[in-house]
Amino acid sequence: MNGLVVIIATILVPTGYSAAEVYDTTWPTIASEHCNGSRQSPINIISASAVGDANLTEFNFTKYGDNSTMKNIKNTGETVKVTLTRGVQVTGGALSEAYDSLQFHLHWGNGTSVPGSEHTVDGTRYPMELHIVNAKSSHDGNTTTAVADSTGLAALGFFIEAMPGNATGSPAAWNTLTSYLANITLKDDIVNITHAISLDELLEGVDRTKYYRYLGSLTTPNCNEAVVWTVFKDPIKVSQDLIDLFSTTVHIDHNSTSALITNVFRNIQPVNGRMVTTQSSPTTAPPVSGASTKCSSLGLMALAWMLLRV
């Protein structure tokens, strides 16, 4: 399992990932096997074109409520990554089997001037996006088979937007998580997470029964087309001051004079005819009108009277 965490962390965050919007156009050249493929991520989701799918049921999240599953937090030089302990899993949601939740990391832009989510919805980019990276449990840590399997990985994407008003330091779980950024300002800085924080607390306010689904790829080289993407519709709401900490605190290199990590997102990729699905709208029987109810009652009374006369 540890090997799987390492390789997925590596292929999710290439060297020099700041200003990705400038140089990610070269990825099809430097990692041509996958980065110029036909099912690349991220994409712009057109909500009106999403196809209803009754198979997209609710997820089951194992140990997402456990506040001791976050092992450490690291500045990779390209993003901020939190490694999870073993036993955290996700099932359901039309996934083919149980997937182990390995780590989560974040994508951001540059303060309020440049939003930094990877996916967009109807052309709108959110300030940040959180990705929980999961791998099929059946691969049991085999990195080669996991990234070679077209559904070997499952990524859960959550948009993050600023709370309305002048709130600061909220929610409490995000205030605690971002307090660690001051201890990982330089590349490869890593510290253990000693505070109690659960994934459920970080995802508070998100209706996890509402989401989009499509088949895609990792969003950084090698861009392996091995990911079942789930992008949740409801954003996580975080106060602007905490959002700003990501683009003003952590650096891309091992010294404080290096550039800050900003614009941590890949450009939108062509959909290439892929289908984006979402939950089918529930159907309900039309309400029975008062007139219909009255007629039915009269009919039953007449039938009963006739039977009594037989």
CA-CA distance, 73 to 181, in Å (whole number)? 9
Report the CATH number at residue 79. 3.10.200.10
User: What band does 3 get if pLDDT is binned at 50, 70 and 90?
Assistant: low
159-173 pLDDT, tens digit per residue, is: 999 999 999 999 999
**What is the per-residue pLDDT for 20?**
47
In the chain, what percentage of residues exceed pLDDT 90?
Answer: 75
pLDDT at 298 over 60: no
What is the sign, positive or negative, of the torsion defined by CA atoms of 129, 18, 45, 280?
A: negative
Closest to 218 measured CA to CA, from 135, 109, 160, 277: 135
DSSP-derived 3-state class of residue 31: coil
Alpha-helical segments (H) within 13-122: 20-23, 27-30, 32-35
77 sits in the region (left: phi over 0; alpha: psi -120 to 50; else beta) called: left
Q: Tokens representing 222?
A: 């090698």
Non-local (6+) Cβ contacts of 262 within 8 A are: 18, 19, 108, 109, 110, 114, 116, 247
Closest to 17 measured CA to CA, from 106, 100, 103, 142: 106
Non-local (6+) Cβ contacts of 40 within 8 A are: 216, 217, 223, 225, 269, 270
Domain count within the chain: 1
204-225 pLDDT, tens digit per residue, is: 999 999 999 999 999 988 899 9
**Amino acid type, 51:** V
60-89 pLDDT, tens digit per residue, is: 999 999 999 999 999 999 999 999 999 999
pTM of the model: 0.86
User: What band does 34 get if pLDDT is binned at 50, 70 and 90?
Assistant: confident
274 lies in which domain range? 2-309
Question: Cα dist. 294→298, 299, 308 in Å?
Answer: 6, 9, 21
Burial of 133 per CB tally in 10 Å (0-12, 13-18, 19+): buried
222-252 pLDDT, tens digit per residue, is: 899 999 999 999 999 999 999 999 999 999 9
